[in-house]
Structure 1
Amino acid sequence: MNRMDMCDEDKFNDDVQELSFGGKFLRLFSELERCGEIEQKQKIGEMNEIIDGMNKVEWKSVFKAELFDEIHTMVKEKKMSMENAILLLKHAGYCKALKNVWSLGFNDSEMRRRFEKMIFEEAKKKEEEKEKLIIDLCECYISLSYDFPHESLSICMPCLLKVALNEEENEKLKRKRK
């Protein structure tokens, strides 16, 4: 076997490795519909670990509008809680940002429209007990989107800046206590 053949074999093995991340993720995703709330959380934890191993190409091949639309449908049909959807999408958005992936999938999905609607509705209510929900929605929305209407940013940015400021203040208090 010459050097070029070995490089081709290594590239083939890398491609197989890439496909295995997507395949594992999609297999677990297809099982979510038949799981209860707790088992879904466990599977989503496994899926989040798989997302960590994905590269840009793999991420883009999995997180297409169809996947986001399927998540939307599952939430709508109460086959997945919004809490579990956020758990999955928040991690996907975080990894998208870390990997610097440019993807249009979320922007073209029903899930984005659902998040926008929920963000606007929750912002109007201004209920303290729903503050975590709007924070989670904004985190998902901003990390998964590639463009933002002014109205969305005017709600999400102050919300996320408030969270960051609170975290910074909590860190300062912890350091003072030590």
Structure 2
Amino acid sequence: MQKPMEKDVSNKFSQLFFVLEDCDEELQRNKIFEMNEMMDEMNENELIHVLSNENYNKINKMFEEKKLTVESGIMLLKHMGYCNALKNIRFSQFERSLLCDKIVKMIVDEEMKKEGKSEKLLADLCECYLLLNVFSISKELLSIVVRCLLKVALNKEENEKTQKEVEVALLALSGISDNHIICNELYLNEIAEIIKYHQERHNLTRLAYQLA
């Protein structure tokens, strides 16, 4: 049973979610920023309420009807996944949602592009996919996701934005199930390079060090 304060936060989040599709792009992004801030303050019970099949399918429907831009949708989904992973919530309905299928298709489509491929979009999609608790991944998709996110984690620019990007990529990679065998020599070399580089320069957050 939810406490009154929890209900209040959940209701406010739901109200913002409900009006997203009626907003222009700028107002939509402002409301998503507000929703993301609310998720930062939520406890586990409140987040479980947010991470619902109903919400995932609503986002998918807004994508399909062009009522939510991919950029805005990723801004929301990435933060949902980030909060989910930080609190280590193992209850997620994402994998059974229509949105999960759409994200997979978007990842594959972007990876297969001969021209105009966006590495940033691909990385964002891969992070959304892993951070929202996906336990069953094909070998082909896993190869795309791991290769893409290791590339992000190997970014050696020393600024706050890059630190955050590295942290999120490592957090996403750390959620891959132990059932998936990904540790071939190439990946091990890249992971060792990530750890060595950032240990020498002390330019990662504590969380990122732990994840590495």
TM over 0.5: yes
Q: CA deviation at 1:108?
A: 1.0
5+ residue gaps, structure 1: 1-11
Counterpart of 2:148?
159
Specify the SS of the correspondent of 1:170. Answer: coil
In the TM superposition, residue 77 of structure 1 has moved relative to its aligned partner by 0.2
Deviations 1:5-33 (A, max 9, x none): xxxxxxx9x81111111111100000101
What pairs up with 1:1-178 in 2 under 5 angstroms? 15-125=3-113, 127=115, 129-149=117-137, 150-166=139-155, 169-171=156-158
Q: Structure 2: how far apart are the matches of 1:110 and 1:72?
A: 7
Flag as ranges the 4+ runs of structure 1 deviating above 4 A: 126-129
Q: CA deviation at 1:112?
A: 0.6
Identity of aligned residues (%): 46
Larger Rg computed on CA atoms: 1
Amino acid at match of 1:32: L
Letter in 2 for 1:160: L
Contact 1:102 1:146 in 2 (8 A): no
- Work out the CA distance in 2 between the residues paired with 1:92 and 1:62: 8
Q: 1:48 touches 1:92 (CA, 8 Å); kept in 2?
A: yes
Q: TM-score, normalised by structure 2?
A: 0.71
C-alpha spacing 1:170/1:127, structure 2 compared with 1 (3 Å):
farther
Q: 1-side partners of 2:145 and 2:116: how far apart?
A: 16
Aligned CA distance change for structure 1 residues 81 and 104 (closer, same or farther; 3 Å): same
Tell me what 2:162 maps to: none
1: distance between equivalents of 2:88 and 2:29? 26
Q: Which amino acid aligns with 1:107?
A: E
Structure-2 separation of matches of 1:83 and 1:148: 26
Greater helix fraction, Structure 1 or Structure 2: 1
Distance (whole Å) between structure 2 residues aligned to residue 99 and residue 127 of structure 1: 38
Whole-angstrom distance in 2 between the partners of 1:116 and 1:97: 19
Structure with higher RCO (Cα < 8 A, 6+ apart): 1
Q: What is the root-mean-square deviation of aligned Cα atoms in Å? A: 1.7
